[in-house]
Amino acid sequence: MASPPKLPTRALFWDIDGTLLLTGRAGMIAWERAFAEATGGRTFPSVRPDGLTDHQIAAWLLGYTDLDRPAAPPEQAAAASLVRRYELGLAAALPLRQGRVLDNVIGLLEWVRAERPELLSWLVTGNTPAGGTAKLQYYGLSEFFSSGDDPTVPSLIGSFSTRVEPRAHIVQRALEMAQSTLPGLRPSEVLVVGDTPHDIEGAHAIGVPVLAVATNTHSLDELSAHSPWRALPGLPPADTFQALVAASS
């Protein structure tokens, strides 16, 4: 699928893991502990979590492998229960690994806040609200995505994993929310920033272009094969990013 067209960007949708920050795989510690508690110590299944939503990860671990469709009610309930265990253990797992905020992230978020406050800058992520909050608070980024007047209150703005469903549904919810804030907003005026083929495919499914960054486990060639609007080795500095935001294609 070719990239959807891009107009000058009015809304930025940011992924979290591998795009804004790396946790050093601390999340997998929380998943392993949650799975052991839920199953009485069964062997942890092999899973590549990059680009999967938290509820998709839970569903996969429990043996539900058709992740491109909304799951049936029993599967949803089982996955939700495992996700809650994961959320409860995530904050304790984050300090156990050496993670970091990725290069240029803080500079870009500060540029958006100071120079382009009219841009919507939201999270569109496979994390749950609680999981995303834990990660962004730990790495000092929550202030850039606070939904209220008080950035110390843990309430993030964006669209998150809330059930087992295709990632495109998360992007679609974000687009609809953004359109209620910016009437007339077109998908081509949105830019998803992400690091996995799942990010690209989920955005393309609803006509949104993607700036893909090879900052985690997927190479530049792997990302380019999915036809994002642009694929870069990493997030650029603010002057280059400004030109990308303003660009049309």
- pLDDT by residue (tens digit) across 7-31? 999 999 999 999 999 999 999 999 9
pLDDT of residue 149: 56
- Report the distance separating Cα 248 and Cα 153, nearest Å: 37
pTM for the model stands at: 0.95
Give the 3-state DSSP-derived string for 72-121, with helices as H, strands as E and coil as C. CHHHHHHHHHHHHHHHHHHHHHHHHCCCEECCCHHHHHHHHHHHCCCCEE
- pLDDT by residue (tens digit) across 45-93? 988 888 899 999 999 999 998 888 888 999 999 999 999 999 999 999 9
In this prediction, residue 150 has a pLDDT band, given cuts at 50, 70 and 90, of: low
pLDDT of residue 152: 53
- pLDDT by residue (tens digit) across 190-220? 999 999 999 999 999 999 999 999 999 999 9
- In this structure, what DSSP letter does residue 9 have? -
- Report the distance separating Cα 93 and Cα 234, nearest Å: 26
Contact 54, 127 (CB under 8 A): yes
- pLDDT by residue (tens digit) across 153-199? 558 999 999 999 999 999 999 999 999 999 999 999 999 999 999 99
